[in-house]
Structure 1
Amino acid sequence: MIRRIAVIAGSRYPIRAPFAGGMESITWHLVEGMRRRGVPITLFAAPGSDPQLQAETIEVEPLVLSDAARADVAMPPEKTLREHHAYLQVMLELGRRDLDVVHNNSLHYLPIVMAELLSAPMVTTLHTPPTPWLEPAARIANAADIRYAAVSAATAEQWSGIVEATVIPNGVDLDQWAYGDGGDSLVWTGRIVPEKAPHLAIAIAEATGRRLRIAGPRPDPGYWGTFIKPHLGDLVTYEGHLTGHQLAELIGTSAAALVTPVWDEPYGLVAAEALACGTPVLAIARGGLPEVVGHDCGRLIEPGTEEAMIAAGASLLSETMALPRAAARRHAVEHCSLNVMIDRYLALYEELSTRRRSA
Structure 2
Amino acid sequence: MTHALARELVDRGHDVSLFAGPGSDPALPVELLDLPEFEPSEVAMGDVNAPSRHWMAEHHAYLSLMLSLAGGEDRRFDVVHNNSLHHLPVAMARSLSVPVVTTLHTPPLPWLESAIALAPDTSSFVAVSRATARAWSHVADATAVHNGVDVTSWRPGPGGGPAVWTGRLVPEKAPHEAVDACRLAGVPLLLAGPMSDPAYFEEQIAPRLGEGATYVGHLDHAALAGLLGHASVAVTTPAWDEPYGLVAAEAMACGTPVASYARGALPEVVAPEAGVLARPGDVEDLARAVLAARDCDRAVVRRHAELHCSLTRMTDEYERLYADLVDRSLAA
2:299 matched to which residue of 1?
326
Aligned pairs (5 A) from 1:222-301: 222-233=199-210, 235-301=212-278
1:80 matched to which residue of 2?
55
CA separation of 1:94 and 1:217: change in aligned 2, threshold 3 A: farther
Shift of 1:183: 2.1
Shift of 1:234: 5.4
CA separation of 1:142 and 1:75: change in aligned 2, threshold 3 A: same
1:196-223 CA-partner distances (Å, limit 9, x unpaired): 1111111112222321111112221111
Shift of 1:289: 0.4
Q: Structure 2: which 5+ residue stretches go unaligned?
A: none
Pick aligned residue for 1:146 from 104, 118, 123: 123
Checking the alignment, whether the CA contact within 8 Å between 2:274 and 2:301 is kept in structure 1 is yes
Give the TM-score normalised by structure 2.
Answer: 0.94
2:135 matched to which residue of 1?
158
Q: Structure 1: which 5+ residue stretches go unaligned?
A: 1-25
- 2:173 counterpart SS class: coil
Q: Does 1:343 align with 2:316?
A: yes
Q: Distance in 2 between matches of 1:346 and 1:65?
A: 44
- 2:146 counterpart SS class: coil
AA aligned opposite 1:92: L
1:70 matched to which residue of 2?
45
- 2:182 counterpart SS class: helix
1:122 matched to which residue of 2?
100
1:20 matched to which residue of 2?
none
Q: Does 1:356 align with 2:332?
A: no
Checking the alignment, whether the CA contact within 8 Å between 2:185 and 2:291 is kept in structure 1 is no
Shift of 1:60: 4.1
1:204-255 CA-partner distances (Å, limit 9, x unpaired): 1222232111111222111122111222335222222222221111100000
Tell me how large the CA RMSD over aligned residues is: 1.5
Checking the alignment, whether the CA contact within 8 Å between 1:59 and 1:82 is kept in structure 2 is no
AA aligned opposite 2:62: Y
Shift of 1:35: 0.9
- 1:262 counterpart SS class: coil
AA aligned opposite 1:347: R
Shift of 1:142: 4.3
- 1:155 counterpart SS class: helix
Aligned pairs (5 A) from 1:59-208: 59-67=35-43, 69-95=44-70, 96-97=72-73, 98=75, 99-143=77-121, 145-208=122-185
Checking the alignment, whether the CA contact within 8 Å between 1:252 and 1:274 is kept in structure 2 is yes
AA aligned opposite 1:153: R
Q: Distance in 2 between matches of 1:291 and 1:198?
A: 21
- 1:255 counterpart SS class: strand
Higher mean displacement: 252-261 or 171-180: 171-180
Q: Distance in 2 between matches of 1:64 and 1:285?
A: 46
Higher mean displacement: 51-60 or 99-108: 51-60
AA aligned opposite 1:38: G
- 1:345 counterpart SS class: helix
AA aligned opposite 1:62: F
CA separation of 1:139 and 1:300: change in aligned 2, threshold 3 A: same
